């Protein structure tokens, strides 16, 4: 089963890292990406540019509304994602706990819907 892991981080916290600390975190992350790829668990992984480069798009009454930045003001913002293959949620969570930036932020783990449900978007899940 596929799981999307969303990596949330505080840009200011990462920007405050010394060059050597940033290099160590970066190297550790790239090594873990290689490990996941070599094991066949990694489908894709990408970092995102700063939240300051984001645009939020909405369409209301047929008209597009575009605003700069994210929809909500929060300290942690989406910094990247990795899409993995795991046998179940427990394995996906174990993989996410080893993602290096989880020590500084958080990783949201969500199962992928392979097809859009017929009965309703979330199938009555509460």
Q: How far apart are CA 36 and CA 126, in angstroms?
A: 32
Runs of H (alpha helix) within 1-126: 11-15, 19-38, 89-97
Confidence at residue 122, expressed as pLDDT on a 0 to 100 scale: 72
Please name each of the domains of the chain with its CATH number. Answer: 2-48+75-111 (3.30.70.1060)
CA angle 51, 115, 83 (to 5 degrees): 40
Per-residue pLDDT of the chain (126 residues; tens, 9 = 90+): 999 999 999 999 999 999 999 999 999 999 999 999 999 999 999 999 998 899 989 999 999 999 887 666 678 889 999 999 999 999 999 999 999 999 999 999 999 998 887 777 776 665
**What pTM, to 2 d.p., does this model score?**
0.86
Q: Are strands 106-111 and 2-9 parallel, antiparallel or unpaired?
A: antiparallel
- Whole-number pLDDT of residue 73: 66
d(CA 73, CA 33): 30
Residue for token pair 């929809």: 71
Q: Is 52 helix (H, G, I), strand (E, B) or coil?
A: helix
**Residue pLDDT, tens place only, 36-71:** 999 999 999 999 999 889 998 999 999 999 988 766
């Amino acid at each position: 089963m596929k799981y999307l892991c969303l990596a949330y981080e505080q840009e200011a916290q990462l920007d405050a890292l010394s060059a050597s600390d940033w290099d160590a975190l970066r190297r550790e992350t790239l090594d873990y990406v290689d490990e996941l790829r070599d094991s066949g668990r990694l489908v894709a992984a990408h970092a995102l540019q700063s939240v300051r480069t984001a645009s939020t798009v909405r369409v209301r009454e047929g008209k597009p509304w575009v605003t700069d930045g994210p929809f909500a003001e929060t300290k942690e913002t989406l910094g990247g994602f990795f899409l993995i293959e795991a046998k179940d949620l427990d394995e996906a969570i174990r993989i996410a706990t080893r993602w290096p930036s989880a020590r500084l932020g958080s990783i949201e783990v969500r199962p992928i819907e392979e097809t859009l449900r017929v009965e309703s978007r979330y199938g009555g899940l509460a």
